[in-house]
Every structure is written in structure tokens, then in C-alpha cells.
Amino acid sequence: MKTSNAHNILQEAIIGCLSGITIFADLDTKELNIISEHMHVSRIEAGDIVFKEGDPGDKMYFIVDGTLDVLKAVDGLAEKKIAVQAPGGSIGEMAVIGGFSRTATVKACSDATLLTLSRRSLNHICETRPQIGVKILMAIARLLSNHLRDTSQELLEFISPFGSNASRK
């Protein structure tokens, strides 16, 4: 198989994967094609650590297949599972947008395929293709806003003596 043919097949597969990811839902085929040029594919095995809490971060990951556990250190000792990311999900958005260190550890609970977008690549897209960059950044903002809303509701239920009924009053 010729290298360019293999590249085209891989790029088409990446575009197919991107079309199923919420952050890229507003992009058309031409825009997905441009984004696919900036994606890297990696395969990880069950038990592999994608990144650890506190690590510097400059990449976000999109789950193509498999599942990832999101773990948070509790009192600096044990880790508690706070979320599971499945195909179509993403992790690492805050590190790419804000340059923050990782806020949780992410571990593969099954073999998984990930697409990776670096901060450098996202910045390049925003500078050279601002119309695509705005769509991606707005989608990330919506995603982070939804996460904040969910976390606020969980916090309310945790601190309220009446649980979730307190928010209904």
C-alpha cells in the first residue's frame, strides 16, 4: 500500500471518528478534514495511565473506543472514581484552554483508542482558521459549562440537609 493511500485511509477514519464527538458536531466535512490533519492516534491498554493529577497538560483526548476512569485523589491518599468517559467523550479540555495542570488522573479501564489534539495545534487552527477555532472553542465552553452546572448541583446535594429536594423549593 502506498504511503499516501494509507494516509488517506487513516485521515478518513479520523474524520469518521471526529464526526461522532460532540465538540466537533458543528463542523462540516471540509472543516473536519482540516482538523484531522492535527490529530494523533494512540492505542492504550487497560490499566495504562493517560495522565496523572497534577501533571502539566497541553493535550486534550477524544475517546474513539474503550473507556477511561477519571480518578481524583482524596486527602492525598486514595483515589476515588469521579467519572467514566466512553466513546465520543473527551478529557483534558481545561489543560488545553487554560494551561492548567491536570485536575484528575485518567486511567484506561479497557483497551482504548484515543485521538489527541495539542494546545499548539488548537492555537494554530484558531490563528489560521478562526471560523473553525471559534466553533471548537464554543463547543468546549458549552462542555465545561455543563460540567460546572453538574458539579454545582452535586455540591448542592452534598451540602444541603434536604438533598436534591432543597433545589426544588
- Between 8 and 54, residue with greater pLDDT: 54
Please report the sign of the dihedral spanned by the C-alpha atoms of residue 148, residue 152, residue 154, residue 159.
Answer: positive
pLDDT band per the 50, 70, 90 thresholds, residue 169: very low
- The tens digit of pLDDT for each residue in 15-65 reads 988 988 989 999 999 999 999 999 999 999 999 999 999 999 999 999 999
Mean of all residue pLDDT scores within the chain? 88
Say what the pLDDT of residue 87 is.
93
Average of pLDDT values for 126-144?
95
What residues does each domain of the chain span? 3-168
Q: How far apart are CA 61 and CA 59, in angstroms?
A: 7
What percent of the chain stands above pLDDT 90?
63
For helices 29-36 and 3-18, what crossing angle results, to 10°? 120
* Closest to 24 in 3D by CA, of 112, 115, 159, 158: 115
CATH class, domain 3-168, is mainly beta
Helix (H) or strand (E) holding 132: helix 130-159
The two counts, helices (H) then strands (E), for the chain are: 5, 8
Q: Are 76 and 23 in contact (CB under 8 A)?
A: no
Say what the pLDDT of residue 51 is.
96
